[in-house]
Amino acid sequence: MKKIISLSIFAALSSVIYFSCNKEVHGRTDNLPALNPASQDLNAGSWKTVLLASPDAIAVAAPPATNTPAYIGDLNEIKGYQENLSDDAINNIRYWGAGGVLRWNEIIREMVAKHNLPPYQNEDGTYPAPNSVNPFNYPQFPFSNPPFAARAFAYISAAQYDALVACWYYKKLYNQPAPYTVDASVNAMNGKNDLPSYPSEAAVLAGVTSEITKLMFPTEVANIQQKVEDEELAAIQSGTATRTDINAGEALGRQIAALFTARAKTDHAGTAGGNPDIWSAFVTNTTARGETPWFSLETPKRPPMLPLYGNVLPFLFDSITVTKIRPGYPYSTKSGEFEEQNKAAYVQIKNPTREQERIVQFWADGAGTYTPTGHWNAIAAEDFIKQDYSEVLWARNMALLNMGQMDAAIVCWNTKYFYFNPRPTQMMPEIKTLTGIPNFPSYISGHSTFSEAASTILDHIIPANAAKYEALSAEAAKSRFIAGIHTQMDCDSGMVAGKRVGNYAVLRAEHDGAE
Amino acid sequence: MQPIIKRNVFTLLVLVLFQLAAHAQTDIDAIMMGQHNLCVGPMYSHSSWKNYWEGTLKRNNQNLGTVSTNMYSIMGVYGITDRLNFLFGAPYISTKASAGTLHNSRGIQDLSLWLKWMPLEKKLGKNSVFSIYGLAGYSAPLTNYQADYLPLTLGLHSRNLSGRLMLDYQHRGFFVTASGTYQYRSNIKIDRTSYYTTEMHITNKVDMPDMAEFNARTGFRSFRWITEVFFEQNRTLGGFDIRRNDMPFPSNRMNASIGGVHIKYVPKKLPALSLEAGGSYVLKGRNVGQATEYNASVFYIFPLSHKKITTPHTCKLCRL
């Protein structure tokens, strides 16, 4: 008996040790191969930009010839690094080698999740608002809720796209070969290709992204600057770019960012939070129409999330179009049909199955996450990885997705506050939800609008995946109904609105010169 | 003699707050079940909290109100030999919040299995006895409940391996028991494809930090009674703090210092029966609720061989 016991204790200890050694969790994109585009899209300098008037609107001086002392000095810097690369340096080269647009997209998703926390209430039951003038004070600026996040993704993606179009224009114009092409003793750590290296696309991305994050995520400036340096060092150490390529690229990126930050300061997002008079006017106006107005289901009652976000300037169409594509009136809150909609939500949440819980949690994208838009960025990015896009095509596709996401947010918020419709739980308090209820009116569903807009755009970008995107979009919409957060009417109308927005992005895609 | 099989059910159940593994009992008493006897019975436990620690900041939450957990469990101990026992338990749990809109949860949680071994039991003079115990435990979810629904989840859904060393000293009726436990926890999978802790994780897998527990208990063992008080420290060896006004997450650093009492009674006329009751309170914690818990249980001994029921004598000295 004693032997058996000793043996079983030994076995238990061994398994503990075995399992302990195997606990490390790897991310799905931790160990990607270097980006190896099927085509470098060398004509992308002629693609249609978003804000940049023309690809050469910002001047970039010619690079030094490859036989000049300046260039040879740059080569010696690369060679010096490559003589003695640490493991950290090699990991950094591999990390950024997977693609700058991808990595920055992941970094932005991380920042959104980090800052997506609703402020805690004041002693008197009111709520403090984040203030971009004092971003480090609690609550820190921003509270990157779904509309804020959609806008941040859009500005960053659109600016990256314009910056890379200009970058490609100059690459073709100056046709500077990569360091590893000029000098065979330079090691091409991330593989070789025929893309001209001046100005550096990595530095363009670093420059443009860091400038916009100063506005969107001001508490992250130091953190982002570190990423800028990491990306640029990776480009030099990998033999892809010279210091001169980097400096020209970063300057170009930062200048193009200025066009976008100027637009962001005047796009009406800054006043989207409203004020107590505006909040109460929604209630008064809705009551005057004979309808039951929305109220916050939080304790203490929280002011509605960004009620004037529906007035923000869209990217893909004008503000008049927002009101034109806004879905029509929902069932009256006093009608039998509305009651039926809410009763159906109640029936739905009584006995949720595990599969329904899975769907709800998969799509919850609530506080502390990268929001529905971040989720669709993750879906898109993981599919784009398999498509072997050039950096400029990556940026173009992300810009289409995210301009569509921001415009979907604008149309959705415009609709929500135009009708100011109550949540199912407001009408029937016995409706308990499988995830938290967002703090804004019910009609139309944000998830449905975001998701159908995203799937419409992605269908166009990767037609082979269309069935998958449509299924995902339908599941995202359904998740909000089975969670008890929305009525079926909210989800259906959200999908209609999302489709309309998505089609504008497709229209742009068909005419931007990339297809 | 009957073990107090339920004890650790409750401390670990207390942690069902922001749920430290609500596994069924890890036995933490210094009493063994006699050979070929099976002791089984139902247990009920209720725990609730209104305040919790968000990191180290104590707060309440008007959108949760009071979070309460009811646990109904079947537990048992079988005496393989007088010195080697096998323990098992499986709870049904229901959770709810008194305020806010979050849906309640209910279902069967984890199966817990323990082997409890007493390699040494030595009489020291006429009035004292000293004993050493080694325990090895395993627990695993019996159902596919969602772990990522704190604070209303049924449990954390990891598979756990535990090793415990326990020392007991009894002098006349007075006793002191101390134990230390290391618990290895497997990684879990959640329904989301990414999550933020102190950084972004682009995966649905969550690294669950291991746990350590220290437990000290003291009181009196007499012919048919045990009355004791205990203090317990639970420490998560890693993990992260809940951020200001964020939701809790399975791999949070959940720590708790818990005090409690426990009573066991064996009726004279029905010595195969035992009645137990207890309560506990979280004195200090981190990323857990300040739970108050009470419990009650009934156990009955069935002899599974021709041997008679071993006397349900809870005093180690009298038996030796």
Using 50, 70 and 90 to split pLDDT, how confident is the model at B30?
confident
Of A25, A362, A437, the CB nearest to B206: A25
Using 50, 70 and 90 to split pLDDT, how confident is the model at B25?
very low
Burial label for A122, CB within 10 Å (0-12, 13-18, 19+), is exposed
A27 interaction partners in chain B (CB closer than 8 Å): 201-203
Q: Which of A212, A237, A265 is the last residue of a domain?
A: A265
Q: Using the predicted structure, report yes or no on whether residue B12 has a pLDDT greater than 60.
A: no
Touching check for A136 and chain B: CB below 8 Å? Answer: no
Q: Please check whether residue B100 is in contact with residue B64, taking contact to mean a CB–CB distance below 8 angstroms.
A: yes
Compute the average pLDDT of residues A303-326: 98
Q: What pLDDT is recorded for position A8?
A: 57
Count Cβ–Cβ pairs < 8 Å, chain A vs chain B.
121
Tally the domains of chain A.
2
Percentage of chain A beyond pLDDT 70 is 96
pTM: 0.94
Of A27, A120, A432, the CB nearest to B103: A432
In three-state secondary structure terms, A60 is coil
ipTM: 0.94
Q: What pLDDT is recorded for position B319?
A: 65
Comparing B6 with B174, the larger pLDDT belongs to B174
Compute the average pLDDT of residues A42-71: 98
Of B63, B103, B195, the CB nearest to A349: B103
Using 50, 70 and 90 to split pLDDT, how confident is the model at B8?
very low
Compute the average pLDDT of residues B35-52: 93
Is A96 a member of any domain? yes
Compute the average pLDDT of residues A70-74: 98
Q: Using the predicted structure, report yes or no on whether residue B31 has a pLDDT greater than 90.
A: no
Same domain, A238 and A320: no
- Based on C-alpha coordinates, what's the Rg of chain B? 20
Instruction: Indicate yes or no: CB of B103 within 8 angstroms of CB of A118.
Output: no
Q: What pLDDT is recorded for position A56?
A: 98
Same domain, A69 and A200: yes
Touching check for B106 and chain A: CB below 8 Å? Answer: no
Compute the average pLDDT of residues B244-267: 95
Using CA coordinates, name the residue in chain B closest to A425.
B101
Same domain, A245 and A293: no
Residue A18's CB is within 10 A of a number of other CB atoms, namely: 9
CA atoms within 13 A on the CB side of A71: 16
Using 50, 70 and 90 to split pLDDT, how confident is the model at B272?
confident
Using 50, 70 and 90 to split pLDDT, how confident is the model at B131?
very high
Same domain, A259 and A323: no
* CA separation for the pair B69, A134 (Å, rounded): 42
Residues 457-496 of A with CB under 8 A from B: 484
Q: What pLDDT is recorded for position A315?
A: 98
Paired with B201 in beta bridges are: B195
Compute the average pLDDT of residues B284-295: 96
> Nearest-CA distance from A93 to chain B in Å?
20
Look over chain B and give the mean of its residue pLDDT values, rounded to a whole number: 88
In this structure, what CATH number is given to the domain that contains residue A225?
Answer: 1.10.606.20
Instruction: Kindly list the domain boundaries of chain B, sorted by start residue.
Output: 7-319
Instruction: Indicate yes or no: CB of B200 within 8 angstroms of CB of A110.
Output: yes
Is A478 a member of any domain? yes
B149 interaction partners in chain A (CB closer than 8 Å): 357, 361
Q: What pLDDT is recorded for position A267?
A: 98
In one letter, which amino acid is A374? G
Same domain, A348 and A482: yes
Q: What pLDDT is recorded for position B304?
A: 82
| pLDDT tens per residue across span A169-202 | 999 999 999 999 999 999 999 999 999 999 999 9
Is A295 a member of any domain? yes
Q: What pLDDT is recorded for position B129?
A: 94
Q: Please check whether residue B109 is in contact with residue B74, taking contact to mean a CB–CB distance below 8 angstroms.
A: no
Instruction: Indicate yes or no: CB of A432 within 8 angstroms of CB of B104.
Output: yes
Taking domain B7-319, whether its CATH number is 2.40.160.40 is answered by yes
- Most A CBs within 10 A among B64, B196, B244, hence the mutation to make, goes to B196
Q: What pLDDT is recorded for position B35?
A: 87
A364 interaction partners in chain B (CB closer than 8 Å): 192
In one letter, which amino acid is B227? T
Q: Using the predicted structure, report yes or no on whether residue A4 has a pLDDT greater than 60.
A: no
CA-based end-to-end distance of chain B:
12
Q: What pLDDT is recorded for position B320?
A: 62
Is A6 a member of any domain? no
Q: Using the predicted structure, report yes or no on whether residue B94 has a pLDDT greater than 70.
A: yes
Using 50, 70 and 90 to split pLDDT, how confident is the model at B169?
very high
> Nearest-CA distance from A120 to chain B in Å?
6
Q: Nearest-CA neighbor of A63 among A198, A241, A260, A229?
A: A198
Same domain, A300 and A248: no
Same domain, A227 and A327: no
Q: Using the predicted structure, report yes or no on whether residue B11 has a pLDDT greater than 50.
A: no
Same domain, A159 and A192: yes
Instruction: Indicate yes or no: CB of A361 within 8 angstroms of CB of B149.
Output: yes
In three-state secondary structure terms, A433 is strand
Is A300 a member of any domain? yes
| pLDDT tens per residue across span B53-76 | 999 999 999 999 999 999 999 999
Q: What pLDDT is recorded for position B15?
A: 45
Average the pLDDT over each of A433-437, B34-38, B225-229 and give the range with the smallest value. B34-38
| pLDDT tens per residue across span A217-268 | 999 999 999 999 999 999 999 999 999 999 999 999 999 999 999 999 999 9
Using CA coordinates, name the residue in chain A closest to B117.
A5
Instruction: Indicate yes or no: CB of A297 within 8 angstroms of CB of B115.
Output: no
* CA separation for the pair B181, A497 (Å, rounded): 57
Percentage of chain A beyond pLDDT 90 is 95
> Nearest-CA distance from A42 to chain B in Å?
32
* CA separation for the pair A249, A284 (Å, rounded): 53
Percentage of chain B beyond pLDDT 90 is 77
Same domain, A226 and A289: no
Is A5 a member of any domain? no
Q: What pLDDT is recorded for position B306?
A: 63
* CA separation for the pair A488, A406 (Å, rounded): 23
Q: What pLDDT is recorded for position A474?
A: 98
Q: What pLDDT is recorded for position B308?
A: 60
Using 50, 70 and 90 to split pLDDT, how confident is the model at A12?
low
Q: What pLDDT is recorded for position B6?
A: 41
Q: What pLDDT is recorded for position B32?
A: 86
Compute the average pLDDT of residues B180-188: 96
Q: Using the predicted structure, report yes or no on whether residue A447 has a pLDDT greater than 70.
A: yes
A28 interaction partners in chain B (CB closer than 8 Å): 202-203
Q: Using the predicted structure, report yes or no on whether residue B239 has a pLDDT greater than 80.
A: yes
Q: What pLDDT is recorded for position A29?
A: 97
Same domain, A143 and A78: yes
Is A28 a member of any domain? no
- Most B CBs within 10 A among A6, A13, A23, hence the mutation to make, goes to A23
Same domain, A283 and A233: no
In one letter, which amino acid is A16? V
Percentage of chain B beyond pLDDT 70 is 87
Instruction: Indicate yes or no: CB of A16 within 8 angstroms of CB of B161.
Output: yes
Same domain, A219 and A313: no
Structural domain boundaries, residue A239: 55-265
- Max distance between CA atoms of chain B, in angstroms, equals 64
Q: Using the predicted structure, report yes or no on whether residue B5 has a pLDDT greater than 50.
A: no
Residue A182's CB is within 10 A of a number of other CB atoms, namely: 17
Q: What pLDDT is recorded for position B316?
A: 72
Using 50, 70 and 90 to split pLDDT, how confident is the model at B309?
low
Q: Using the predicted structure, report yes or no on whether residue B21 has a pLDDT greater than 90.
A: no
Is A449 a member of any domain? yes
